Structure 1
Amino acid sequence: MKAKTLGILAAITILGIVVAIFVNQEPASQLPHSGKLLFPSLLSAVNDVNEVVVETKDQTVTLVRKENTWGVKEKAGYRADVEKVKQGLIGLAELRILEPKTKNPELYNRLGLQDKEQEGSLSTTVTLKTPNNPEAALVIVGNQRPAKGNPRMSEIYVRKPGDPQTWLVIGSLPLEKVPGEWLDKEITALPSKRVHRVAVTHPGGETLLVSKDKPEDLDFQLDSIPAGFKVSSQFNVNNVVGTLVQLPLEDVKKEQEVNFQDHPGVTAVLETFDGLRLHVQTAKQEDKIFGKFSAEFDPALVRLVDATPSPEKGKTVPAQDSAQDEKALGSPEEKQPGEEQGEISPEEDSILRKPEEVKEEVEAFNNRTEGWVYELPTFRVENFSKARKDLLATIP
Structure 2
Amino acid sequence: MNKSFFILCTLVTLALGVGFWLHQEPVDEPTNSELVFENFRDTLDTLKSIEITNSQGGLLNAESVDGVWLASIQAGLPKYPVSKKHLSELLQAITQVRYLEAKTRKPQKFSELGLQALYAEDSIATLITFSTGKASQSILVGKTAQSGQGSFIRKPSETQSWLVDRNISVPVDKYSWLQQPILPFQPEKIVSVSRLDQAPWTITRDVQSSSLTLDNMPLGSKLKYEAVLSSVTTALTDLKFERLLMKDYELTRSLEILTVLELHLTDGMFFTLNLGKKGDDNIVYFSNFDGVPYWGAWAYQVSNFTAQQLIKSLSDFLEDKSSNQSEVDTSVEQYSIDEGESPQ
Same structural fold, with TM-score higher than 0.5 when normalized by the shorter chain? yes
- Give, in angstroms, the shift of residue 88 of structure 1: 1.9
Aligned CA distance change for structure 1 residues 161 and 217 (closer, same or farther; 3 Å): closer
1:247-396 aligned at under 5 Å gives the runs 247-256=239-248, 259-262=251-254, 263-272=256-265, 275-293=268-286, 366-392=292-318, 393-395=320-322, 396=325
SS class of match (1:211) = strand
CA distance, structure 2, for counterparts of residue 216 and residue 258 of structure 1: 43
Q: Please tell me the residue identity of whatever aligns with 1:139.
A: I
CA distance, structure 1, for counterparts of residue 223 and residue 186 of structure 2: 24
Task: Give the equivalent residue in structure 1 for 2:34.
Answer: 36
Would you say the 8 A contact 1:278–1:294 is kept in 2? yes
Task: Give the equivalent residue in structure 2 for 1:127.
Answer: 129
- Give, in angstroms, the shift of residue 87 of structure 1: 2.7
Would you say the 8 A contact 1:100–1:168 is kept in 2? yes
Task: Give the equivalent residue in structure 2 for 1:65.
Answer: 64
- Give, in angstroms, the shift of residue 98 of structure 1: 1.5
Is 1:243 equivalent to 2:235 in the alignment?
yes
CA distance, structure 1, for counterparts of residue 304 and residue 170 of structure 2: 27
Structure 1 stretches lacking a partner, 5+ long? 1-29, 297-361
Aligned CA distance change for structure 1 residues 146 and 233 (closer, same or farther; 3 Å): farther
Task: Give the equivalent residue in structure 2 for 1:206.
Answer: 199
Aligned CA distance change for structure 1 residues 228 and 42 (closer, same or farther; 3 Å): closer
Task: Give the equivalent residue in structure 2 for 1:15.
Answer: none
Task: Give the equivalent residue in structure 2 for 1:103.
Answer: 105
SS class of match (2:141) = strand
CA distance, structure 2, for counterparts of residue 143 and residue 36 of structure 1: 21
CA distance, structure 2, for counterparts of residue 212 and residue 49 of structure 1: 43
SS class of match (2:41) = helix
Identity of aligned residues (%): 20
SS class of match (2:252) = coil
TM-score calculated relative to the size of structure 2: 0.72
- Give, in angstroms, the shift of residue 181 of structure 1: 0.8
Aligned CA distance change for structure 1 residues 45 and 257 (closer, same or farther; 3 Å): farther
- Give, in angstroms, the shift of residue 189 of structure 1: 4.6
Would you say the 8 A contact 1:236–1:383 is kept in 2? no
CA distance, structure 1, for counterparts of residue 207 and residue 65 of structure 2: 42
The match for 1:174 among 169, 172, 175 is 169
- Give, in angstroms, the shift of residue 99 of structure 1: 2.3
Is 1:164 equivalent to 2:128 in the alignment?
no
Query: What are the Cα deviations for residues 95-153 of structure 1, in whole angstroms up to 9, with x where unaligned?
Result: 211121222223222222222333332221222223122xx212211122498xxx9xx
TM-score calculated relative to the size of structure 1: 0.63
Would you say the 8 A contact 2:183–2:295 is kept in 1? no
Would you say the 8 A contact 1:294–1:369 is kept in 2? no
CA distance, structure 2, for counterparts of residue 288 and residue 161 of structure 1: 40
- Give, in angstroms, the shift of residue 158 of structure 1: 1.0
Would you say the 8 A contact 1:196–1:215 is kept in 2? no
Task: Give the equivalent residue in structure 1 for 2:144.
Answer: 144
SS class of match (2:165) = strand
CA distance, structure 2, for counterparts of residue 257 and residue 286 of structure 1: 17
Task: Give the equivalent residue in structure 1 for 2:336.
Answer: none
Aligned CA distance change for structure 1 residues 272 and 161 (closer, same or farther; 3 Å): closer
Aligned CA distance change for structure 1 residues 104 and 41 (closer, same or farther; 3 Å): same
Aligned CA distance change for structure 1 residues 73 and 193 (closer, same or farther; 3 Å): closer
Aligned CA distance change for structure 1 residues 212 and 42 (closer, same or farther; 3 Å): closer
Would you say the 8 A contact 1:190–1:246 is kept in 2? no
1:18-37 aligned at under 5 Å gives the runs 31-37=29-35
Task: Give the equivalent residue in structure 2 for 1:86.
Answer: 88
Aligned length: 290
Aligned CA distance change for structure 1 residues 36 and 256 (closer, same or farther; 3 Å): same
Query: What are the Cα deviations for residues 282-308 of structure 1, in whole angstroms up to 9, with x where unaligned?
Result: 333343233333687xxxxxxxxxxxx
Would you say the 8 A contact 1:291–1:374 is kept in 2? yes
Would you say the 8 A contact 1:197–1:270 is kept in 2? yes
| Structure 1 range deviating more: 67-76 or 119-128 | 67-76
SS class of match (1:268) = strand
